[in-house]
Structure 1
Amino acid sequence: MYKLSIITVNYNNLQGLIATFESVKNQTWQDFEYLVIDGGSTDGSKEFLEENTEYINYWVSEPDKGVYHAMNKGILKATGEYLLFLNSGDHFFNNKVLEKNINSVENYDIIYFNQKVVAKTKSFIKEYPDTLSFAYFLKDNLPHQASFIKANLLKTLGLFNEEFMIVSDWKFFLDAICKHNASHKHIDKILTVFYQDGISSKLENLKIIEEEKQIVLKKSYSLFMNDLDDVLKYMTIVHNLRRSKKIRLLIKLGLLNKF
């Protein structure tokens, strides 16, 4: 059994597939399993995979129902203890990054790293917090491109929800950590490079993302949201009180403790 399975999902993105494949192929540590799930591409991706079968443990090129269906197909074929989803176009930070960090992958359900993000006009290092919370997931997510996830955790929780177009990886991390108390650890090192050109990064999809998140929150976390509404309301009251000139005067005169 492999310790790590790397899964690449691709559809009509030959140049991205080549970049990801070369990044995987050139790693100095190679004791992993590599799987490519192609959605029946017609741009030469299938032919590229056929030419490089010696470097791929498993690949398939056939129509699927979307990115999460493809990722689930990869999960069911993978034999590694941990899974890493490095989809076409994204790649490792350098050729030695697995060699330097593979020993960190143990005893936790989810091990997540930092990543370099490349946008159209700029690039930056996305650093993730050591401590995660429900409030954190309301505004952010963990990077599946830079997270080692225990395969058994994914299978136990029911794989990625294929009903959603964009937020199923967010839902998985939210459920795993906030509902099922999955153990997790942050490694403060850069693992991968992520390009903001996918469906989740497009401005026109922001409405879809918000709608899908609201479905998840209302169905599974309505009590959390009620509590959060109260917290936000009280935070607003406190913020306004702090700005009050009368309150500031009372604090200055020693008639009211600072809060």
Structure 2
Amino acid sequence: MPVLSIITINYNNKAGLEKTILSVCSQTDANFEFIVIDGGSTDGSKEIIERYRSKITVCVSEKDTGIYNAQNKGIANAKGDYCFFLNSGDLLANENVIKEIKQYLTVTDIVYGDLIIVDATGKKEELHSPEKVDAPHFMVSTLWHPTAFIKRSVFEKFGAYNESLKITGDYEFFIRTVLKHHVSTKHIAFAISIFDLGGISNSDKNNELHAKERKKSWQLNYSDAEIVAFEELTRHQRSREYKVRQLFKKIFNPFSK
């Protein structure tokens, strides 16, 4: 049984799919299974899959009901101890990521690292994940999905992705598992993957759906009273952090305002 299952979801993104496949195949440690779930693409993605079929352990190409339905298919086909999602268009940060991360894939439920984002102009920025992920963190952020190695047993015990959500299924999953059920987590301080922001819509409609689904993600797991308590805790923590930053400014630069 392999330690790791790398799962790639694709729909009509043949250029991104090929980049992702090449990134996975360039790893110096190839002891993993590679699963590609395609949503019945019509843009030539199937030809890309066939071109690299010998490198792909499992391939499913059929219509799905959305990204989380596709990701759940990936989990259902996985045999590895850990699942890692690297969807079409995303890349591993370098050719040694899998080799370096494997030493940490032992007992921890969710191992996560840092993320490199690329904007529409090609500018790169590395985002560092926190050492601790708690309610205040999830109130304002999330765990970046393409940096997270998730034990397959976590899906078996607490359920897979909620397919009623269109864009925050991973966010809800982390709230459910990390916060509600207290699965173990560990931050590894190096970049895992490169995420292209070019395909993300910034439309008002998309932002509205995102806000609505983030709220629903909390409501699926906590009562209104509990959510209010988390919001209050977040406000207090952010206020305290601001005061500490201001104090340090005065200590190290007494003439600053």
**Is the alpha carbon distance of 1:3 and 1:41 closer, same or farther for their aligned partners in structure 2, counting shifts above 3 Å?**
same
Answering whether residue 54 of structure 2 is matched by residue 54 of structure 1, we say: yes
Equivalent position of 2:41 in the other structure: 41
Equivalents in 1 of 2:72, 2:112: separation in Å?
Answer: 20
Residue deviations 1:148-177 (CA, integer Å, cap 9, x gap): 000110122111000010001000011111
Equivalent position of 1:11 in the other structure: 11
Is the CA contact (8 Å cut-off) linking 2:171 and 2:217 kept in structure 1? Answer: no
Equivalent position of 2:244 in the other structure: none
Equivalent position of 2:124 in the other structure: 123
**Is the alpha carbon distance of 1:233 and 1:115 closer, same or farther for their aligned partners in structure 2, counting shifts above 3 Å?**
closer
Same amino acid, percent of matched pairs = 37
Equivalents in 2 of 1:174, 1:73: separation in Å?
Answer: 21
Q: Could you state the TM-score of these two structures normalised by the residue count of structure 2? A: 0.87
Equivalent position of 2:190 in the other structure: 189
Question: What amino acid does structure 2 have at the position aligned with 1:149?
Answer: I
Equivalents in 2 of 1:232, 1:146: separation in Å?
Answer: 24
- How far did 1:234 drift? 7.2
- How far did 1:193 drift? 0.4
Secondary structure, aligned partner of 2:36: strand
**Is the alpha carbon distance of 1:214 and 1:53 closer, same or farther for their aligned partners in structure 2, counting shifts above 3 Å?**
same
**Is the alpha carbon distance of 1:182 and 1:15 closer, same or farther for their aligned partners in structure 2, counting shifts above 3 Å?**
same
Equivalents in 2 of 1:116, 1:181: separation in Å?
Answer: 27
Equivalents in 2 of 1:148, 1:235: separation in Å?
Answer: 28
Equivalent position of 1:100 in the other structure: 100
The ranges of structure 1 where at least 4 consecutive aligned residues each deviate by more than 6 angstroms after the TM superposition are: 232-238
- How far did 1:87 drift? 0.1
- How far did 1:229 drift? 4.9
- How far did 1:26 drift? 0.8
Residue deviations 1:204-251 (CA, integer Å, cap 9, x gap): 41110110111222342223222245557878999xxxxxxxxxxxxx
Secondary structure, aligned partner of 1:99: helix
**Is the alpha carbon distance of 1:220 and 1:49 closer, same or farther for their aligned partners in structure 2, counting shifts above 3 Å?**
same
Question: What amino acid does structure 2 have at the position aligned with 1:174?
Answer: I
Question: What amino acid does structure 1 have at the position aligned with 2:150?
Answer: I
Residue deviations 1:115-162 (CA, integer Å, cap 9, x gap): 101111432101000011111101111111111000110122111000
Mapping for residues 70-85 of structure 1, pairs under 5 Å:
70-85=70-85
Equivalents in 1 of 2:239, 2:97: separation in Å?
Answer: 48
Equivalents in 2 of 1:119, 1:132: separation in Å?
Answer: 26
Equivalents in 1 of 2:106, 2:239: separation in Å?
Answer: 45
Is the CA contact (8 Å cut-off) linking 2:7 and 2:84 kept in structure 1? Answer: yes
Equivalent position of 1:87 in the other structure: 87
Answering whether residue 113 of structure 2 is matched by residue 110 of structure 1, we say: no
Q: What count of residue pairs does the alignment treat as equivalent?
A: 238
Equivalent position of 1:152 in the other structure: 153
Question: What amino acid does structure 2 have at the position aligned with 1:126?
Answer: L
Secondary structure, aligned partner of 1:159: coil
- How far did 1:60 drift? 1.4
Equivalents in 2 of 1:132, 1:237: separation in Å?
Answer: 18
Greater Cα radius of gyration, structure 1 or 2: 1
**Is the alpha carbon distance of 1:142 and 1:233 closer, same or farther for their aligned partners in structure 2, counting shifts above 3 Å?**
closer
**Further displaced range: 137-146 or 222-231:** 222-231
Equivalents in 1 of 2:187, 2:142: separation in Å?
Answer: 13
Answering whether residue 244 of structure 2 is matched by residue 224 of structure 1, we say: no
Question: What amino acid does structure 1 have at the position aligned with 2:169?
Answer: S
Residue deviations 1:88-119 (CA, integer Å, cap 9, x gap): 00011111221122112221000000010111
Equivalent position of 2:252 in the other structure: none
Secondary structure, aligned partner of 2:198: coil
Provide structure 2 residue ranges, at least 5 long, that are not aligned to the other structure.
241-257
Secondary structure, aligned partner of 2:137: helix
- How far did 1:197 drift? 3.1
For the aligned residues, what is the CA RMSD? 2.1
Equivalents in 1 of 2:167, 2:158: separation in Å?
Answer: 18
Secondary structure, aligned partner of 2:126: strand
